[in-house]
Structure 1
Amino acid sequence: MLISEGKINSSLEDDSSHTESPGPLPETVLAHLDKSHITVHTYPESHPDDGISTFRADIDVSTCGKISPLKALNYLIHSFDSDIITIDYRVRGFTRDIEGRKHFIDHKINSIQNYISNDTKELYHMIDVNVYQDHIFHTKMLIKDFDLDNYLFGITKKELLPSEKRKIKQKLKKEMYEIFYGKNMPKI
């Protein structure tokens, strides 16, 4: 698979007359992006005692040229429907104008939040940690409200006693706060 900002040479296009199955699907998908790359690292884990499981996906999008990873933010956020989101955006290197002058940043940005849709902003608490002079931008997002049924397996919240619901919600909030703030917390 080749993804490019320009038109792909027709000799590389898929031959739609090929109808045979390519065989078993690979465990790894590899794509070549013209001037760019995307990587996904996944980290599923479970607490051994309290039944809390988390699934972390780190997605790195590096681009150059006309394609900006900021344009993919809303799509990625809505695709994963995450409780906690940490976004790092760093402008590296430079580009030259037609006179040969270097430009180390070619767009205005003071916060990643400027690129996040308003409907998404309403769902999350957000904080920024930015280093403007080095073109480093960091935004952390924590879901404001959650439906307990989305975190239960084999049971619904209607089947739980009020004290059980409270205890589970408390564990979930503690887990979310610890991940959001990046430290262990004794109590919430």
Structure 2
Amino acid sequence: MDNKLKLYGFNNLTKSLSFNIYDICYAKSEREQRDYIAYIDEQYNSERLTNILYCVTEMIGAHVLNVSKQDYEPQGASVTFLIAEESMIPSCIEPETVVAHLDKSHVTVHTYPEFHPGTSIATFRVDIDVATCGEITPLKTLDYLIGSFDSDIITMDYRVRGFTRDIDGKKLFMDHKIASIQDYIDNATLQRYDAIDINVYQSNLFHTKMLIKDVDLQNYLFNTDVYELPPKTRLQINNNLRQEMIEIFSGSNVY
């Protein structure tokens, strides 16, 4: 993406990256489940999510115009950034009087902790959307965002809409090369996951799903030591964890 195309006038392409990250955990008792929710709310409150989005906007070279953040009861948080490719506040005008235009877009994140009522499996879901205009592309933020959360399952969608023109007037419906979202994820990260693509190239639609390969049970137990559990219980919990992951990954009720 360092080799920029020579364009005629304004780049009218809109690029949207949306993905869900799922972190799976086992919390058996109601007390453990309440403690888990409290832990997640503390770890991923709106303040921390805001700091993550500030890093994202810096990585894509955008300017933050407005920040809205909210923590929810009993759990969850949301943060929304309004961003622009260039600074939209003239030095001669007071910031509070500005109604900014044109190449602005947004970055959002929402969190949703919930429990499977039959298996005591907790699923913490994070929804992230990065929508940009012009030359800015959100794909370069993937490694950072995946690494910012404990990501067991990841589903990603990338879409480029609209068109721009080169200096000869030819319409361009894509201003950078892409065959797969996976091309923009570090190999060390990809090696930890099973990944599949479902792409519609003629419509500039790209979809990738990733499922963690190795499940170390101790990493999925909340306030419980794996050696305190009998082997049969360990096996059942491990099966429940894997079944939950497979169903979320496949998008269907397999079991």
Normalising by the residue count of structure 2, what TM-score does the alignment of the two structures yield?
0.61
Higher RCO (CA-CA < 8 Å; seq separation 6+): 2
Letter of the 2:106 partner, please give it.
H
Q: 1:6 to 1:148 in 2, by over 3 A?
A: closer
Q: 1:172 to 1:29 in 2, by over 3 A?
A: closer
Unaligned runs of 5+ in 2: 1-49, 72-77, 85-103
1:57 match: 126
Does residue 149 of the first structure (1) align with residue 218 of the second (2)?
Answer: yes
| Matches of 2:80 and 2:131, distance apart in 1 | 15
1:178 offset after TM fit, Å? 0.4
Native 8 Å contact 2:155 2:209 kept in 1: yes
| Matches of 1:59 and 1:65, distance apart in 2 | 20
Q: 1:171 to 1:7 in 2, by over 3 A?
A: closer
1:173 match: 242
Does residue 74 of the first structure (1) align with residue 124 of the second (2)?
Answer: no
Letter of the 2:197 partner, please give it.
D
CA RMSD in angstroms comes to 2.4
Q: 1:136 to 1:6 in 2, by over 3 A?
A: closer
| Matches of 2:215 and 2:141, distance apart in 1 | 24
Pick from 23, 32, 36: which aligns with 2:82?
32
Identity, in percent, stands at: 58
Structure with bigger strand share is: 2
1:183 match: 252
1:68 offset after TM fit, Å? 0.8
2:208 match: 139
* SS across alignment from 1:86: strand
| Matches of 1:7 and 1:111, distance apart in 2 | 28
Unaligned runs of 5+ in 1: 13-24
1:105-147 superposed Cα distances (whole Å, 9 cap, x missing partner): 0111111111110101110000000001000000000000022
* SS across alignment from 2:133: coil
Greater mean alpha carbon deviation, residues 134-143 or residues 61-70: 61-70
Pick from 172, 179, 189: which aligns with 1:110?
179
Normalising by the residue count of structure 1, what TM-score does the alignment of the two structures yield?
0.82
* SS across alignment from 1:81: coil
Q: How many residues align?
A: 171
Letter of the 2:164 partner, please give it.
T
